[in-house]
Structure 1
Amino acid sequence: MAGAAAAALSKSQPQKALEKLGLRRDIDLALHLPLRYEDETRITRLLDARDGDMVQIEAQVTHSEVAFRPRRQLRVTVDDGSDTCVLRFINFYPSHQKTLSVGARVRVRGEIRGGFVSREMVHPGFRVAGGELATALTPVYPTVAGLPQAYLRKAVLGGLSRADLSETIPEEFLNKNLPQPLSSLIQALSFLHQPPPEVMLATLENRSHPAWQRLKAEELLAQQLSQLQARRVRAAMRAPALVPPAMRGPQCTLQAQLLERLPFRLTAAQQRVGAEIAADLQKNLPMHRLLQGDVGSGKTVVAALAAARCMDAGWQCALMAPTEILAEQHFRKLIGWLEPLGIQTAWLTGSQKAKERREALALIASGAAGLVVGTHAVIQDKVIFKNLALAIIDEQHRFGVAQRLALRSKMTEGGEEPHLLMMTATPIPRTLAMSYYADLDVSMIDELPPGRTPIVTKVVAEARRDEVVERIRGQLLDGRQVYWVCPLIEESESVDLINATQTHEALNAALPGTQVGLLHSRMPVAEKKAVMALFTSGQVGVLVSTTVIEVGVDVPNASLMVIEHAERFGLSQLHQLRGRVGRGASASACVLLYSTGEAPRLGETARARLRAMVETQDGFEIARRDLEIRGPGEFLGARQSGAPLLRFADLATDTELLTWARTLAPVMLDKYPDLTHRHILRWLGGKAEFLKA
């Protein structure tokens, strides 16, 4: 009985692994496509194999030993009659030794390499020789621990045979406005899971094969349909029209008073974007607008003007930011601009003391607080607004979709929706906006305020660290301040914390007489605030920090940014960090310190990122290159978004298919509602709900 229970338990492991991969439905399995293929349809003679070839051989084991030079490993010599080859295993089990015992005849598949004495294969696949050769290329699927390829192949083919793969694209559109006709879905999937050996592997690897084109077209259409459907649902909703009281003249509005008090003039781009938002807020349709602007382009003042319009109409506005430091930065700016105009502002964060929090909640519930600023605390159940009409979300990609939905649900007035303004300093390339933000209106601040100084960016090897410290000493003597940023990666938080602490100690020793501050994510909030206040006031000369200072920090006297282990950061993150300097009149610089570790040179991706940083300061060009390097899923923060990200299509190269899908989507929604429903369900399952955020 115990044995049966154990068997049942072991059977459930692959099932759990399948669920971890999101493979719950038959169609999910059918759409789980191979990463690559192995050719097990032919046997290659060792004599005919060239270095670097991935081949399958059939040979006899002539020698097998466990060697200890330079480390413990299993070395097996095989002979196929034309030549010999050594199979080398660093990790091995007794079962390996048993199968690969002297005299055994085995079928082996791996990459041929030129060894010191003879040619070798390192960790090849192997099994006892015999049986028919495969008739199709063998797929290798993306997998997780506890899910062997053999089990996954069987599960995928089972899902493929059971899934409903009937056509959901009207036949008239399969060949319309496309570079090549599309095959049927079932043909395309059957081909990609079991391609014949004569297919050109390059067309599968670069996804240019007609079967791949069909999958990409399907996926893009599902995305465009769901986005358009979400937009139409939103168009049927209602929001309060935010119009100031008629008895007050245009010069007496909060917006006009705020503009009058600002110590600077708005740029033409800020004025244009402000007008677009104002036009939206006057309508009964809920605004759903993304405000893009490069680092330092002045998005906060545009948000403040929108908030002023909302409050002038007698409604409340909420602004939510992803971190306390950023939320507080906004809070201080907004208080400085709005409190002199008689606006009461409430502050909400998770670290507040109970009394302070109770007072804030009372102000919000009574409507006395026209503006509420905070972190995730703004969307907690206990927060009840009297009449919320505008929700502003800063760095929106850092919030989960469920959190954005929760903020919108805070409006309780007669089934109406609040207007939604999302802001990002990570500009979205046009092709990405066409696809992922098809249901959004996009405003762009494409002009920096006057007085921003260009930032010189240098890439410097870790070995020249002492020269960088000398540069810091020079900046300090000139009365300037410096950021030194250490990376923080969740998986190795303790290691990175040690790194930041050691850097702080080293700079303290190297710069006697200078106050060096330390800021990291594990510090209590009060301590973080105290350190930032000392840096902002100029008492701290050098701030050693993990990326908690990535956005929102504004210290005009800081003129040098050193980013340690720059090769570990994403391109948009590097650009965000660099934007913390160059905010004053002084010439500013950003030093990207890179470490190659044990490797002799930087990886190609890291090199591309650092090169882009040196070559351009244009956030939109940075975003375009970031998309090229990372792909759309990661670029948009796939883990947080919940939105259906493209697995197969490439927005940089599949523009014709995207245009086709955009053209077809409204026609399908209007003329073929049943096919539309089936198509979205097949590709997105329940994820389409997230598009409402």
Structure 2
Amino acid sequence: MSAAAKASPAARALIKLGLVDALSRALHLPLRYEDETRLTPPLDSRPGESVLVELEMVQVPAQPPRPGQPWTALGRCVISGQRVQLRFVHAHAGLRKLLEPGQRVRAFGEVRHSFSGCDMVHPQVRAVQPGEPLPATLTPVYPTSASLPQNYLRKSIAAALPRAPLHECFASADQALPRGLLPLRQAVLTLHHPAPTESLDALLDRTHPAWQRIKYDELLAQQLSQKRAQQLRRQSAAPRLAPHPNPLAQALLQHLPFALTPAQERVLAEIQADLSPPARHAVTPMHRLLQGDVGSGKTVVAALAACMALAAGWQCALMAPTEILAEQLFGKLVEWLEPLGVQVAWLSGSVKGRRRAAMLEAAASGQAGLVVGTHAVIEQQVRFARLGLVIIDEQHRFGVQQRLTLKDKASEGDGAGADPRSAPLEAHLLMMSATPIPRTLAMSYFADLDLSVLDGLPPGRSPIVTRVLGAQRRDEVIARMSGALEQGRQIYWVCPLVEESEKLDLENATATHALLSERLAPWPVALLHGRMKAPEKAAVMAAFKAGEARVLVATTVIEVGVDVPNASLMIVEHAERFGLSQLHQLRGRVGRGSAASACVLLHGGPLSQAGRARLQAMAQTQDGFEIARRDLEIRGPGEFLGARQSGAQLLRFADVQHDGDLLDAARERADRLLAQAPEACDAHIARWLGHRTEFIKA
């Protein structure tokens, strides 16, 4: 039997929480504190306040408590003589032994005042000796699990603190620290055992000077890690691709029915600087994030970037998170590039048999210059002859390992390196997102990327009017849909997502489809949901795009990538269940043609404060960056980061939205520290991030 298996449940719970050594325990910081530094007479306590009361037990039931049964004991306060009833809703046998008559105990909890006296319901109780000194510091309450009692965790952390390596990583504190920050060991000890004179509010809202030091160190580690990732990429080699415009790109531009916007021209110049720098400069792998609001024209930028690879004799791979989005991109790229002699291969889970074998052969032989698909593009059987550029759409939908796997396929082909004795060339990476990223996130989580922003919309896009209505007006909305249909328009109706049950999703979508089919007859109504097979989804989307279906009832599978210019009305049912970015993406499915467009957000009630804030933001602005800023306020960074973190929280203590000054200070010092003290930087990164540095590489 292993040592871990022999350990007590509490010891195993420590390991499960990652508290495996003195440092990890020292950095497991309290959530809140209990003030057990003073005794309070029961009648002096305020409602909702937890206090420490010292009692001498007077009366205890003769029958020992049975597990899970209510049980009451009576004690007399040693300070004031007031009597206090200790009520335990779920009692256990150890209470009878602890609360024997004459025993002195300290009880911590809320005192409730009533006509019958003072009650404490389920207080924390421990036996004490007369005159036993009170704690000198506040009592920490740590994040824990059911199998890890607070007292066990407190003792484990207290024992680890003297042994924890909390020395300063950098020889000169002035070199690394902004003025006024505490030494690290002092900050950690203060947070674990603060004096009762410390501001409890500052400790809880993390504005205390000790918290400032912890958050600064974590932000510095993140900045150092991302700068280090950038340095390593700059030491790698990548293929030199053709400049823009090249003959292939010029042919595509002539073929397009529209001109590029100034924003698209600017972004293409930024991409060209990465892919085709001046001859005297070495070519290092591009690692660029292209962010642009819904409908800003990212697809044509991706096509022209692919032309830079294709014109230089290299292949390009484009991966999208859903089959609907990938197929939309595939159709657009085939329309644009195949007339120019570029073979575009298609890979998804639905491509099987001989067709799949033909696509794999086209990619492996280099016959297909561009390979478009879903996660199928990164499967082990997929090989490329000369992969020079990787484009990932909706990058936050993919996990770290998925992005790295596709990028690593560049080293598998015959053309991976110009010289067989040299290291293989890395592929360039262009990631795209229709979710604009607020400045603070771009400075922190995406600091290792070069950012390009499409901040203008192509001409001819119609404005979208957004209305927020209660669900009781659903019938009124359905009645008004007929007018849009009679004008030749098409309509989306998005059903709410019930995360707990795909079956409920399907039932809801099916019921809505049946209702609309009846109420809107004879207009044809189509149904699209996540449990349909890929060929069925493709057939439904083709019918809607061709105008054969006039109304599309769907779940959020149409959130991104769907482009039907004739659709001018979007109705989102139970809109309060969606995040702001999702709602903004859904609204972006209309307004793609010349007709006036509208988005109706139907909500149930009563709305939560966050739900109301989301819907108000949608009604007030169509600016994707303003919506992203508000979404960060409401939901935190998860909506923007997606799977970049691969399920791990990169920042445990700092909040990039509220700690901007600390983030600026860390960014300002990171480059200098990497140049002056690289080994100290490694130690600092290891202390605060550990294995999580792998996530930053993608």
| TM-score w.r.t. length of structure 2 | 0.88
Q: Sort the Cα spacing of 1:8 and 1:360 in 2 relative to 1 into closer, same or farther, 3 A.
A: closer
Q: Deviations over 1:172-203 (max 9, x none)?
A: 42686x3x422111111111111122211111
Separation in 1 of the partners of 2:495 and 2:72? 46
| 8 Å CA contact 2:645, 2:695 repeated in 1 | no
Q: Sort the Cα spacing of 1:252 and 1:619 in 2 relative to 1 into closer, same or farther, 3 A.
A: closer
Q: Sort the Cα spacing of 1:351 and 1:638 in 2 relative to 1 into closer, same or farther, 3 A.
A: closer
Shift of 1:428: 1.1
| 8 Å CA contact 1:17, 1:147 repeated in 2 | yes
1:411 is paired with a residue whose SS is: helix
Separation in 1 of the partners of 2:501 and 2:682? 44
Matches within 5 A, 1:335-354: 335-354=334-353
Separation in 1 of the partners of 2:330 and 2:271? 21
Q: Which residue of 2 aligns with 1:26?
A: 22
1:623 to 616, 624, 628: 628
| 8 Å CA contact 1:269, 1:445 repeated in 2 | yes
Separation in 1 of the partners of 2:71 and 2:512? 45
Q: Which residue of 1 aligns with 2:280?
A: none
Separation in 2 of the partners of 1:650 and 1:134? 32
Q: Which residue of 2 aligns with 1:502?
A: 511
Q: Which residue of 1 aligns with 2:601?
A: 592
Matches within 5 A, 1:54-93: 54-58=50-54, 74=70, 92-93=90-91
| 8 Å CA contact 1:642, 1:687 repeated in 2 | no
Q: Sort the Cα spacing of 1:241 and 1:667 in 2 relative to 1 into closer, same or farther, 3 A.
A: same
1:456 is paired with a residue whose SS is: strand
Q: Sort the Cα spacing of 1:362 and 1:145 in 2 relative to 1 into closer, same or farther, 3 A.
A: farther
AA aligned opposite 2:168: E
Q: What are the ranges of 5 or more consecutive residues in structure 2 without an aligned counterpart?
A: 62-67, 278-282, 418-423
AA aligned opposite 1:287: M
AA aligned opposite 2:642: G
1:621 is paired with a residue whose SS is: helix
Separation in 1 of the partners of 2:566 and 2:113? 58
Deviating more after overlay: 233-242 vs 582-591:
582-591
Separation in 2 of the partners of 1:531 and 1:452? 25
AA aligned opposite 1:157: A
Q: Sort the Cα spacing of 1:388 and 1:461 in 2 relative to 1 into closer, same or farther, 3 A.
A: same
Q: Which residue of 1 aligns with 2:421?
A: none
Q: Deviations over 1:226-269 (max 9, x none)?
A: 1111111111111111126xxxxx98701000000101111110
Separation in 1 of the partners of 2:117 and 2:527? 55
Q: Deviations over 1:502-532 (max 9, x none)?
A: 3334434444434333322222212222222
Q: Sort the Cα spacing of 1:605 and 1:526 in 2 relative to 1 into closer, same or farther, 3 A.
A: same
Q: Sort the Cα spacing of 1:481 and 1:154 in 2 relative to 1 into closer, same or farther, 3 A.
A: farther
Q: Sort the Cα spacing of 1:262 and 1:113 in 2 relative to 1 into closer, same or farther, 3 A.
A: farther
Q: Sort the Cα spacing of 1:32 and 1:516 in 2 relative to 1 into closer, same or farther, 3 A.
A: farther
Q: Which residue of 1 aligns with 2:420?
A: none
Separation in 2 of the partners of 1:650 and 1:251? 42
Q: Which residue of 2 aligns with 1:127?
A: 125
Q: Which residue of 2 aligns with 1:378?
A: 377
Shift of 1:342: 0.8
Deviating more after overlay: 20-29 vs 530-539:
20-29
Q: Sort the Cα spacing of 1:594 and 1:130 in 2 relative to 1 into closer, same or farther, 3 A.
A: farther
Q: Which residue of 1 aligns with 2:262?
A: 268
Q: Sort the Cα spacing of 1:148 and 1:560 in 2 relative to 1 into closer, same or farther, 3 A.
A: farther
1:637 is paired with a residue whose SS is: helix
* Aligned: 1:435 with 2:431: no
Q: Which residue of 2 aligns with 1:557?
A: 566
Separation in 2 of the partners of 1:505 and 1:163? 64
Q: Deviations over 1:589-609 (max 9, x none)?
A: 22222234xxxx433222222
Instruction: Work out the percentage of aligned pairs sharing the same amino acid.
Output: 59
1:636 is paired with a residue whose SS is: helix
Separation in 1 of the partners of 2:59 and 2:485? 70
AA aligned opposite 1:513: P
* Aligned: 1:38 with 2:34: yes
* Aligned: 1:194 with 2:193: yes
AA aligned opposite 1:260: Q
AA aligned opposite 1:594: H
Q: Sort the Cα spacing of 1:116 and 1:253 in 2 relative to 1 into closer, same or farther, 3 A.
A: farther
| 8 Å CA contact 1:254, 1:308 repeated in 2 | yes
Q: Which residue of 2 aligns with 1:548?
A: 557
* Aligned: 1:480 with 2:489: yes
Q: Which residue of 1 aligns with 2:272?
A: 278
AA aligned opposite 1:52: G
* Aligned: 1:531 with 2:527: no
Q: Which residue of 1 aligns with 2:617?
A: 612
| 8 Å CA contact 1:432, 1:632 repeated in 2 | yes
AA aligned opposite 1:196: A
Matches within 5 A, 1:279-678: 279-283=273-277, 284-412=283-411, 413-414=416-417, 415-488=424-497, 490-596=499-605, 601-637=606-642, 640-641=645-646, 645-678=650-683
Deviating more after overlay: 306-315 vs 427-436:
427-436
2:689 is paired with a residue whose SS is: helix
Shift of 1:683: 1.1
Q: Deviations over 1:536-579 (max 9, x none)?
A: 22233332222211111112222222223322222212211211
Separation in 1 of the partners of 2:10 and 2:694? 29
Shift of 1:310: 0.9
Separation in 1 of the partners of 2:313 and 2:291? 27
Deviating more after overlay: 297-306 vs 150-159:
150-159
Shift of 1:371: 0.2
Deviating more after overlay: 273-282 vs 367-376:
273-282
AA aligned opposite 1:33: L
Q: Which residue of 2 aligns with 1:49?
A: 45
| TM-score w.r.t. length of structure 1 | 0.89
1:650 is paired with a residue whose SS is: coil
Separation in 1 of the partners of 2:205 and 2:308? 51
AA aligned opposite 2:125: R
| 8 Å CA contact 2:498, 2:504 repeated in 1 | no
AA aligned opposite 2:262: A
Say how many residue pairs are matched: 671
Shift of 1:74: 4.3
Q: Sort the Cα spacing of 1:613 and 1:58 in 2 relative to 1 into closer, same or farther, 3 A.
A: farther
* Aligned: 1:689 with 2:694: yes
Q: Which residue of 2 aligns with 1:68?
A: none
Q: What are the ranges of 5 or more consecutive residues in structure 1 without an aligned counterpart?
A: 65-71, 245-249
Q: Deviations over 1:26-83 (max 9, x none)?
A: 322221212222223333333222223233445668799xxxxxxx994858676677
| 8 Å CA contact 1:61, 1:76 repeated in 2 | no
Shift of 1:616: 1.3
Q: Which residue of 1 aligns with 2:64?
A: none
Q: Which residue of 2 aligns with 1:247?
A: none
Separation in 1 of the partners of 2:507 and 2:115? 41
| 8 Å CA contact 1:41, 1:135 repeated in 2 | yes
Q: Which residue of 1 aligns with 2:206?
A: 207
Deviating more after overlay: 456-465 vs 332-341:
456-465
Instruction: Give the superposed CA RMSD.
Output: 3.2
| 8 Å CA contact 2:496, 2:555 repeated in 1 | yes
